[in-house]
Amino acid sequence: DTAVSQTPKYLVTQMGNDKSIKCEQNLGHDTMYWYKQDSKKFLKIMFSYNNKELIINETVPNRFSPKSPDKAHLNLHINSLELGDSAVYFCASSQNWDRGPSGYTFGSGTRLTVV
């Protein structure tokens, strides 16, 4: 049983397209995240949702929009893709945010390549 699953694993698309990455967790966690790992392997948080409510929204272009239909899902929609969006995007979840998480469970990542 995959705890945090992301789809697709690989995504190759042309500049200007709109694409979505889906994330689901079956751990019963309240908090979910999207991280971006750039070509230098540096991870940066993009968004965090707690019980479907946005609690972290780092400085990312408005083209990126997270959507959380329920607390087990956090999808990432990207409009008008640009070359610089090429990266690996990781979804993660944690049990709770206000008492401090015991750790994060990460998905396997989605490698996005914009051509």
Q: Which residues bind other proteins (CB under 8 A)?
A: 31, 33, 35, 40-45, 48, 50, 55-56, 90, 92, 94, 97-98, 100-104, 106-109
| 45 in Cβ contact with 56 (< 8 Å) | yes
For residues 1 and 14, which CB has a smaller minimum distance to other proteins in the complex?
Answer: 1
For residues 48 and 68, which CB has a smaller minimum distance to other proteins in the complex?
Answer: 48
For residues 40 and 69, which CB has a smaller minimum distance to other proteins in the complex?
Answer: 40
Q: How far is the CB of 8 from other proteins (least distance, A)?
A: 15
